[in-house]
Structure 1
Amino acid sequence: MLARLAWLALLVLPLGGVAQERPGAARPVADAEAIAHAQSTAQGDPGYSSHRAYLHYLEARRAEAHGDVAAALVHLRQALVYDESSPDIRFHLARLQFKTHDRARALATLERLNADHPDYAPAHLLYGFVLRTEGRHAEAAVAFARAIEADPEFEEAYLARIGLLAEEGRYEEAEKLANRLAERRPGEGKAFRILAVLAKENGRADWENRFLQRAVELEPSHLPAVLELAVQEERAGRLEEAARLYGRVLVRDPSDPTALLGSARIALRQGDEGSARAFLRQLFGTHPDPVGVRLRTALDLDMAEKPERALEVLEEAKGIAPSDPRIFYFQGLVLERRGDFRAALDAYRRVPANAGSLYPLSRARWANCLSLLGEWEEALRILDLALATSERLLDEEAHVEVLRFVPDVYRRARRSYEAVSRLRKEARRLEGNPTVILALATALQDTGQHGEAIRLLERLVEADSSEAHLYALAVARERAGDPEGAVEVVSRILETNPEDPVALNFVGYVLADHGLRLEEARQMLLRAVELRPDEPAYLDSLGWCELQLGDLAAAEPYLLRAAQMRPEDPEILHHLAELHFRAGRFEEAVATWQKALQLLERDPDLRLAGIIEKRLLHARSRLR
């Protein structure tokens, strides 16, 4: 939205700051030197028929600069008394009328101005913007086009028309117009950078990437665009191109933290530990926040499946600030993700009570780890402490974040009905809070109340159709036995971004898991793995789909690699055990299913556990 309105801010607020109308304010003192200059030059200025008109115009601009819009309007009307035909004076009068929310007068002033001076491009532009705020988009588009026709070099008019096209989802037309502007302004990629931001706001990652590539092609020296494109290429798994773009940034700015960290991540993913360490040394040696940058780096390394390196970085941070509670909290996060719940507990315990919102958050995660270790009563006690502390801090954001853990901790303690009761009360108290609604919907599903959960989530999606809410609704439909309904929901994301790997994986996996449209599922999952080749969940999905298709040889490398990357994921182990069973490796199948069941004891999934128990009985019968 900021990019969309940046050009307008220059037009409507040309002197900086939001000027407030102050009817009772004293008039600013005239600048004698400026007035004298105006008097000496106005007679020869073809833009003004009277030097008095020019004097009032200058006074108007001065009054606006001092925040006295009312005085500015008076001076502009006085200027028109002496020169009623001046397009500049009439334009600024309309601009201030619009600025003071008098849109009707602004439109009337601009209509007369455009009729008298059809070649005055700024008036057409402002007229278009006023129409746009009135919701009259078709008329606004005509006005923007007329501004371009009146002045083919008028960049703001191009940007206004481009923004309107993008807002309407007409990206191809917007792209053509941006290329027209680029022809007139060689070496400038501003229009495409704005288009990339608008596409991102509208959830169109495909167009965002396309516009960024064009922006970088036109203006390779614009480092923020190069950096954003590098991040996108890395996310899409195009590591060589991402590394090249990060390198281009580092040539110009060797201390850029995003480029250094991105280069380190790529080096690690490519197995180049030496280069990764060199990039991180450069990052840590130049960053003004030595602890903060290490915390961010540790999380990035952990998400890149490099937990050991993440813990090393956190130890370095501890050497700089041994008592910083953020370090212990982040250590807990890394250890918890790695499955080392005892060590995570020790880290979370070290977050002190004076750490603000980190204290209840660390206790919530402490409770989560305890529940995964089977210490359910203690987990519930610690979770109660976290909830009470977050309430006492009057920190609603922290309290809501703690509530996210209620469904899982109570489910593992086999007390999901109590979670429903507790979350219903919180949902009434924090009415409309999406995080609380999501938590309540999860607890309802855990107690088999799928219909109510789906209705809650449908209302949430109606209010805010964010991707997180769409996925929650899709999961609820799938858990209720409606896989096609789940696919329909996530397909909305693919309609706007056909290359979204998360959506591709979700739809492909649901179809494969239910034996539906397997070849279509396979193509989606192949693309997801192509986009994110190191994501174990995607590898597992593709392997499971190949297995469902009966191609054991194709399934095996994907399932083995997924299980190697996530050895304690019971669903991945179930799929691997099924592969062993179908290949006649009954002992491996039994051992793998037994391990999956052991893991499910600490984090129950009744549906999956039921499937595995049946398959395990069948496998054991084959061993006799």
Structure 2
Amino acid sequence: MKKIIAALVVLAGLAAAGILADQAVERERDYHRLIDHGDDALSRGQTFVAIEAYSGAIALKRGSMLAYLKRGEAHQRRGDTPEMLAAALRDLRTAAALDPGSTRTLEKLGDVNVQLRRFANAAENYEAYIRLDDHSAEIFYKLGLASRGDGRLTRAISALQQAVTINPNFHEAHYLLGLCLKDREQLAEARAAFDRAIALSPAFIPAREELAELYRLQNRTRDELEQLNALFALDPAKPERLIAVGLAHLRAANRELAVVTLGRAAELFPETPGVYAALGQVWLEAAEDSGDASDLRKALEALEPIATQTTATSETMGHFGRALMLAGEHARAEIVLRQASQRFPTDPDVLPHLATVAQRLGHLDEARQALVRYAVLVDEDREKASHAVWIADLSMKLNDAVSAAAWYEKSEALGTTDASVVVRLADAQAKAGKLDEARATVERALEKDPADAAARALARRLQAR
């Protein structure tokens, strides 16, 4: 009897094992079916369906790196919100934990971190990939991209140099290397990188744009024009390409070619305001140089219809304001220039012109505010010292001796050598109640020019106090 019972137990165990084996086979079959279904949905752009399928696969097989990886990739493909990208990041981190040696997972983690602008994290992911496999030019390129985003230019340049060593024909890597070198102000090396990118891919527009900008910064107008003309040939449907050519001719002091080029742009793109803004700029500069009334009339005719539109840029409105100043319409010029200074993004060059016309009309505080704002916005102002003196003079007229003294001192620190400025500084210090400082300053003025009448008169007044 015992033998019979034992046999029955064995048979039951075998049956249970068979059932479990069948269930395991069925679960494995369902798992692969869901993975295939997700792949098929993803290939047709049905990311939601793919995510559901991969989620089902994960439910069947919690330890599946592949299912988490694929669901993470589907979340990334659907990544139209930060939440979706965060979900991708969670799945990819799980996949990486399940298989730390998966380079595909590390790459995808880096890609998602780049999309989330977590550049330092992305760089770590790409570096982890490279520690496993250092033969991929694309990963070195991505490391360069992430490193530049993180502000680590040395690492970016090194990675990109490695990318172009592995694949010398990788034109995007040469381009990005040029950007990094330009960021480092290594302009000759940057130009060589852009040239190489263009040599490899002559129709690669971003490299030509950067090269044209580089030549503009170096005042190499002929070379700039070569690139701008090439850009127009590659991209003839964009009016800004031809406008750029016209304005480059203007910078090269070739006004006739600028007018011809922009006239052609007006024929090709008659509905584009930027064409007329550029033409107005050409005629305005001609009028400012020559004082010719016909040039000024052409400038006003070109600028007024577009500068008065709600879509007008700050720069265009500024040009119109300057033309009105030249025409003697100062009150209207002040209104236009004030509006231009309030239009975002603001063209900083508008502000000194606003200061000029506001001062002419007796609006001294507005003139001073415009100049102070200009000083804040523009770091590389060649006239920074003279602008500081201008602000100080306006402050004195506004009976603000404390501010005046500060701005006169700033002008001195910026290299002003005019002895009269030192005298004005002493006067401002005296009116601000800083008599000892004023006496010391006027002594400096007299050391520069013992015969300076204003300094001598101020010195006498200070001695009497």
TM-score range, shorter chain: 0.5 to 0.7
Letter in 1 for 2:85: K
Q: 1:611 & 1:137 partners in 2: Cα distance?
A: 63
CA separation of 1:294/1:313 partners in 2, compared to 1, >3 Å: closer, same or farther? farther
1:129-160 Cα offsets, whole Å, 9 max, x none, are: 689949568853532325754xx5673x2321
Note if contact 1:162-1:177 (Cα within 8 Å) is conserved in structure 2. Answer: no
Deviation at 1:272, TM superposition (A): 4.0
Matched with 2:129 is 144
Which consecutive unaligned segments of at least 5 residues does structure 1 have? 1-46, 388-396, 421-441, 449-475, 484-509, 515-570, 575-592, 598-605, 619-624
Q: Quick check: 1:380 aligned with 2:364?
A: yes
Q: Is it true that 1:235 corresponds to 2:217 in the alignment?
A: yes
Tell me, yes or no, if the aligned pair for 1:345 and 1:369 is still in contact at 8 Å: no
- Counterpart Cα distance in 2 of 1:263 and 1:239: 10
Corresponding residue of 2:171: 189
Work out whether 1:168 is the aligned partner of 2:168.
no
Aligned pair 1:126/2:87, yes or no?
A: no
The answer to whether 1:109 aligns with 2:58 is no
Of 442, 445, 448, the match for 2:406 = 445
Q: Which residue of 2 aligns with 1:91?
A: 69
Which structure has the higher relative contact order (CA within 8 Å, separation 6+)? 1
Please give the alpha-carbon distance, in whole angstroms, between the structure 1 residues aligned to 2:258 and 2:93.
59
Asked if 1:315 is matched to 2:320, the reply is no
**2:298, 2:450 → 1: CA distance?**
43
Aligned residue for 1:333? Answer: 322
Please tell me the root mean square deviation across aligned C-alpha atoms, in Å.
5.6
Aligned to 2:242: 260
For 2:55, the equivalent position in structure 1 comes to 74
SS in 1 for 2:406: helix
> How many residue pairs get matched?
369
Amino acid at match of 1:211: A
From 180, 186, 193, the equivalent of 2:165 is 180
Partner of 2:328: 343
Q: Runs of 5+ in structure 2 lacking a partner?
A: 1-28, 77-83, 378-386, 425-437, 454-465
Amino acid across the alignment from 1:293: V
**What is the CA–CA distance in structure 1 between the aligned matches of 2:332 and 2:60, rounded to whole Å?**
72
2:350 paired with 1:368: no
Aligned to 1:464: none
Flag the 1:238–1:174 CA change in 2: closer, same or farther, 3 A.
farther
The reply on whether 1:50 has 2:32 as its aligned counterpart is: yes
> What is the CA–CA distance in structure 2 between the aligned matches of 1:57 and 1:274, rounded to whole Å?
61
- Give the number of the structure whose alpha-carbon radius of gyration is greater: 2
Q: Secondary structure at the match of 2:99?
A: helix
Q: CA deviation at 1:107?
A: 3.1
- CA contact 1:110–1:123 (8 Å) conserved in 2: yes
Aligned to 2:432: none
Could you tell me how far apart the structure 2 residues matched to 1:406 and 1:268 are? Answer: 30
Separation of aligned partners in 2, 1:234 and 1:322? 26
Residue 248 of structure 1: aligned partner: 230
- Once the two structures are superposed, the pairs formed by residues 175-574 of structure 1 within 5 Å of their partners are 175-180=160-165, 182-183=167-168, 186=169, 189-197=171-179, 208-254=190-236, 256-270=238-252, 272-287=254-269, 289-296=271-278, 298-299=280-281, 311=296, 314-318=299-303, 329-333=318-322, 343=328, 345=330, 347-348=332-333, 351=336, 357=342, 368-370=355-357, 372-373=359-360, 378-380=362-364, 408=390, 411-412=393-394, 414-415=396-397, 418=400, 445-446=406-407, 448=409, 476=410, 479=411, 481=413
TM-score (norm 1): 0.45
- The 1:68–1:409 alpha-carbon spacing in structure 2 relative to 1, beyond 3 Å, is farther
Provide the rounded CA distance (Å) in 1 between the counterparts of 2:447 and 2:283.
Answer: 34
Q: CA deviation at 1:283?
A: 2.0
- How far apart are 1:279 and its partner, in Å? 0.9
Q: Is the 8 A contact 1:318 1:324 kept in 2?
A: no
Per the TM alignment, residue 161 of structure 1 is displaced from its structure 2 partner at its CA by 2.0
CA 1:233–1:382 in 2, change beyond 3 Å: closer, same or farther? Answer: closer
Residues 48 and 113 of structure 1: is their aligned pair in 2 closer, same or farther, counting only changes over 3 Å? farther
1:523 match: none
User: Once the 2 structures are TM-superposed, how far is the Cα of residue 194 of structure 1 from its aligned partner?
Assistant: 3.4
In the TM superposition, what is the alpha-carbon distance from 1:233 to its structure 2 partner?
A: 0.6
Q: What per-residue deviation string (whole Å, max 9, x for no partner) do you get for residues 535-593 of structure 1?
A: xxxxxxxxxxxxxxxxxxxxxxxxxxxxxxxxxxxx8xx9xxxxxxxxxxxxxxxxxx9
User: In the aligned structure 1, how far is the partner of 2:319 from the partner of 2:103?
Assistant: 56
Aligned amino acid, residue 77 of structure 1: I
Residue 315 of structure 1, CA deviation: 2.8
Give the 3 Å change call, closer, same or farther, for CA 146–165 of structure 1 in structure 2: same
Q: Per the alignment, do residues 318 and 182 of structure 1 end up closer, same or farther by CA in structure 2, a change over 3 Å counting? A: same
Give 1:158's aligned residue: 140
Closer, same or farther: CA 317–109 of 1 in aligned 2, 3 Å? same
- Whether the 8 Å contact between 2:337 and 2:350 is mirrored in structure 1 is no
Residue identity in the other structure for 2:302? A
**Alignment partners' CA distance in 1, 2:205 and 2:113:** 35
* Superposition deviation, residue 302 in structure 1: 6.6
CA displacement at 1:65 relative to structure 2:
2.8
Offset at residue 68 of structure 1 (A): 10
Contact 1:260 1:283 in 2 (8 A): yes
Measure the CA separation in 1 of the matches of 2:279 and 2:132. Answer: 48
Displacement of 1:328: 6.5
Is the 1:163–1:195 contact (alpha carbons within 8 Å) kept by the matching residues of 2? no
Deviations 1:60-118 (A, max 9, x none): 8899734996x56633413646xx66x64342245559933686774342143244xxx
Task: Check whether the contact 1:127–1:140 (CA below 8 A) recurs between aligned residues.
Answer: yes
- The one-letter code sitting in structure 1 at the alignment partner of 2:333 is Y
